[in-house]
Structure 1
């Protein structure tokens, strides 16, 4: 990983000058070099885009009138995809609204030509001071957006990077959950590559792709004559992965009988090849993954509870792409460069319009869908820019519908959500940390929120289907729980009628927020939008509540912590 390039000790601030006029480019270079900086020049938009990755500048001096690519497009790309870069716009265009538009797209400062050396020198010095101050305040944050084959700089991904680095040399089993296309095998492979102690192979098995009749042989191997067609001894995946990592993808698809054999292997690190009586032992780290809800699979009897606890030592939940903020643009640019080179096309960047569409679309197929969209666009169109009209019609229609009807957002998330895989909104069983929902009680008319209707009126209009999250949670509710905040099916909060039912506003805020996330099928991004708060703010609030022990996190569904513990008055 590379560090933030600030002017400290031997490090120099890197400045990229983007100006098509050679005399002016030379002039800017001369002024900036006198400030103990490292400077590179670009005379076209294409050269500038290439140097953004190879030179990794801290500051960009950007002329808006370039011969090949509009400077405002480059400014937009910098603002959306290179957050750590500070951009100073220099232009001869004196339109009154241009500075405001440039600032909106991410410009730090705006200079109108002609610019004298003193003005430019002062601007650069002020910008360098800002970089140094930011580095001191933030502890010189890592600006890299890569870890292994991962790409992304969102907070939720940085948290995952940090977790992977902390557990890289552990021998504990890792259980990865996430929707299809979120990168579960990439996570397992990255964890294997980060391990500095294990030098063995990385062996991946997709439990859903191999017939159950040969799955045991695939994992443990077989000897000659073990079954019809076994004409020779065959080494299994556990032996191949000795000293390395065994990755079992879609673990919930494994046959129950084989699950018991896998459990014995995990307990003892010993196994027998099919058809053999000889016991062998290996040293293997096991990582498994599923796009289902493992808690619900245990509840349904599809996954052994004892095996679940054996594997669920270090859980890692991969967020869907729609919850990773601007990561979609970083990943899209990565695939754009890859497929432009592969298909011998002249694509360089993604337009501001197309970027906005990508940020609004929920990507039900996650990274895999984004990869396919970029690949098909590169094949079907000519560069140098991906525009909004080049994107698939289904994406354009979905975004248009979402803009007109924000409440339709969830339907475009699709059935890929790991909590909706089987077409049901099943919740986790209480024994495994399921949300404990207080059964709704009748609300006296005098205690109802003004302007609301009685629960019965709303139940008549909208009843919950059998098997839904609300129906199951209500059925599993603990009637002996302490009185507190409850939510009726109509969505109304039952107000307290006794002193011992009064909760702190912080309690109410926490419980209501968690309920909102659950109502959005675990989508923090959608919940934050409906609650009217920034998604980053919501993530931070959730982390604080989790650290304080007020909520427990079970995959993406969350529940209020057990009653009886409240923040102290001093906190």
Structure 2
């Protein structure tokens, strides 16, 4: 249940609970209003059951004060209608009939409590306060359940890896603000999905979410796409165009690949961010647009600033809350979860029955570097489902580069004992006694020994060991994870 906040204390930020009073006698409705407003409730009224149901459908209330006798239906009928459509607003029923049967009937139909006329002001205030408190607690439980359910994903993201949990936390914290967000990450990591998640978790979620890919539009047309134009503003402008900034008024404008934007247009974007004013090409009139900006790039924006291709003042204006999406190769078991998710989705879309991926197929996917990230994995799973006539996907059906990754890794040696990011190794020190130089062992064992020696020399630090070996830390993490999985 979401609360309707029509009144708040601007100095404290506290929201006044909103109560809907359903009573056809004006004097009684005014009495209930006075009692509740004295207790700092915001009150709205309805005189009939139909009016109450219409209001409950259009907005959410913290509590409902409901008279049993109404001109068009009974209060019990209202409770039945609410239950049928899943409305869980806490209802306090008021009646002149104090029979036990009526009270029990009201409670069975979902009422929170039952008050008999003549009304006691204190009893009404306490009962409605309890009802709104119960509604608040139910809302908190719902929120917690949703967040716990998001352990495997969040706002259409799939994955529970620590790297993605960090992303989810930043989005939850940044979403409700109006601060600009700069999403960074390799191609295919889900930057537009991240921007959509920021919009969904914001107070602008009910407004438009407008996306614009700055790399996909010719430079001489991009200004018109963002700020719009009027008919005849330039050759080919045969009709007025609103533009993305005005179209996103009250919502979010997502500028993807913003580092591709021409420097001259960057100055106009900066001016818009500062003034919130839009002047369409060929028009003298200035219009205001209340827009939140989320932008993204697969380049390093600071490097672009240093190279003179991106304005420094615009960079600092946009780079308020950075969100860096991890590459798929650094997301561990998310690869498996994503692969199985895409398999189920595309199997349903194509009307095929495909068995879950085998251990060998998943092992090959774990070992692949995925340069195209989640987009590459998604496209692969669609291709496997479309081209596969059977119910099972075999390792031989995988592309050659993924099979090669699996073959290069070879069988898994025993696991290395670990402690967080520091690995305890049994290899002798770099300058200590080791095997004779002329001794030759299996390639994988030699690789493992080299990794162990580097980790030992680095004091157990994986990033430092990766620097010594001139590989990325993710390469070492993948190998260590593979060894640990094989041992378990």
1:349 is paired with a residue whose SS is: coil
Instruction: Check conservation: 1:180, 1:365, Cα contact below 8 A.
Output: yes
User: 1:130 matched to which residue of 2?
Assistant: none
Instruction: Select the residue among 406, 409, 412 that pairs with 1:399.
Output: 406
1:310 matched to 2:317? The reply is yes
Query: Aligned in 2, Cα 1:204/1:326: closer, same or farther, shift over 3 Å?
Result: same
Runs of 4+ in 1 over 3 A off after TM superposition: 402-406, 512-524, 527-530, 532-536
User: 1:36 matched to which residue of 2?
Assistant: none
User: 2:287 matched to which residue of 1?
Assistant: 280
User: 2:175 matched to which residue of 1?
Assistant: 168
Instruction: Check conservation: 2:462, 2:473, Cα contact below 8 A.
Output: no
1:182 matched to 2:189? The reply is yes
List runs of 5+ in structure 2 lacking aligned partners: 1-144, 414-429, 433-452
User: 1:21 matched to which residue of 2?
Assistant: none
Instruction: Check conservation: 1:524, 1:535, Cα contact below 8 A.
Output: no
Answer with 1 or 2: which has the greater Rg. 2
Equivalent positions of 1:28-107 (< 5 A) are: none
Cα offset, 1:300, TM superposition: 1.1
Cα offset, 1:535, TM superposition: 12
Q: Structure 2: how far apart are the matches of 1:238 and 1:192? A: 15
User: 2:148 matched to which residue of 1?
Assistant: 142
How does the TM-score come out when normalised to structure 1?
0.49
Query: Aligned in 2, Cα 1:289/1:518: closer, same or farther, shift over 3 Å?
Result: farther
Query: Aligned in 2, Cα 1:520/1:257: closer, same or farther, shift over 3 Å?
Result: farther
2:253 is paired with a residue whose SS is: strand
Instruction: Select the residue among 250, 253, 257 that pairs with 2:257.
Output: 250
User: 1:228 matched to which residue of 2?
Assistant: 235
User: 2:365 matched to which residue of 1?
Assistant: 358
Q: Structure 2: how far apart are the matches of 1:296 and 1:521? A: 23
Q: Structure 2: how far apart are the matches of 1:156 and 1:306? A: 30
Cα offset, 1:150, TM superposition: 0.5
Alignment deviations for residues 13-53 of structure 1 (CA, whole Å, 9 cap, x no partner): xxxxxxxxxxxxxxxxxxxxxxxxxxxxxxxxxxxxxxxxx
1:290 matched to 2:297? The reply is yes
Instruction: Check conservation: 2:257, 2:295, Cα contact below 8 A.
Output: yes
How does the TM-score come out when normalised to structure 2?
0.57
Cα offset, 1:186, TM superposition: 0.5
User: 1:208 matched to which residue of 2?
Assistant: 215
Cα offset, 1:143, TM superposition: 5.1
1:287 is paired with a residue whose SS is: strand
List runs of 5+ in structure 1 lacking aligned partners: 1-138, 407-448, 452-491, 494-507, 537-571
- Output the aligned Cα RMSD: 3.1
Cα offset, 1:382, TM superposition: 2.8
Q: Structure 2: how far apart are the matches of 1:199 and 1:140? A: 19
1:222 is paired with a residue whose SS is: coil
2:170 is paired with a residue whose SS is: helix
1:330 matched to 2:337? The reply is yes
Cα offset, 1:265, TM superposition: 0.8
Alignment deviations for residues 155-200 of structure 1 (CA, whole Å, 9 cap, x no partner): 1111111211111111000000000000000110111112234421
